[in-house]
Amino acid sequence: MTIPLKSLFVTSALLGLVSWGASHAPDSQLVAQASGLGTMADTDGDGLDDVLEVLLGTSLTDPDTDNDQRSDLDEHLTGTDPLVFDGFGAPTSIQRNVKMDIYTNGDDVVVQISGIYSQVMRGIKLYAATEGRFYQLTPRALPLTSSDTRMLNSGLPGLKSKVHRLVLPRASFQNVQALAIGLTVNIDGTEMGDQIQLISRMDYLLEYRDGDAFGLQSQGSGQTGGLFPTSPGDSMPGEISLGQICVQTLQEVAALGGGQKLYQINDSYCDYLQDAVCFSTCSGAIGGSVVGIDIVGLLGG
């Protein structure tokens, strides 16, 4: 059953981001190829959409890809690897958590908010930041084309899962070169948060993931991460090869206030990582900017 997502601070602030970005890339036109999968389709019913599962490498038809009796969503939320069998039964220490994921499918951009909790998951607040502006997204702040909330039975004792999905038109991200979307939520009385960082390169929407997501270590000061296409159907012009990632080292250069942080790209190069994509403008990104949201500061406030 589809439940309206009325509890979210969630249709025009992102359009404001569009107008802000227009001066930076007036001729930009985001392009995405349809993946052949349905937006918000979840074939195995595990709480991870099919397109998201392709991006994560998990099975579309098996809710427990590694057959360790913990669902792919449970592992995604608790920090274990859904692709690696790590023994039967519940882990000795179970982490309640919230995560935000994003994928692009044709003209749709889907933001998926997932939480694992014991008693309550409530008080969701969303934020957005560019290099120029910071927003707490109000009920009129997102141009939603669809949304829903799903309750799932977690395979972990005493815990439940909830998934919120928001579908935004791809045009809302037009011309925005750097964008962060942040989330805070109350999980069993504890405030938790997450964020996704997006960059537009060569007219494609890319997600910046930090080094912890794939074991990359920074060689100097700053954090290390890389860029991934938000759609498994994307084939970027000028790409160097499949199996490579555009690795970037970020250095915080400014706390912009109001929950924003600004990072400069100090290094940017192609390196090997299975299922990733690198592209010819990777090295040209040095000196560019990545926007982040100070989630810790927001939670503390």
- Tens of pLDDT, residue by residue over 195-249, are 998 887 766 788 887 765 555 554 555 666 777 778 876 655 566 666 666 777 7
Give Cα separations from 270 to 240, 261, 276 (angstroms): 8, 25, 10
137 burial level (CB within 10 Å; 0-12, 13-18, 19+): buried
Residue pLDDT, tens place only, 59-84: 899 998 888 878 899 888 988 788 78
76 neighbors 161 (Cβ within 8 angstroms): no
Residue pLDDT, tens place only, 175-208: 778 889 999 999 999 999 999 988 877 667 888 8
Say what the pTM is: 0.77
Strand, helix or coil at 296?
Answer: helix
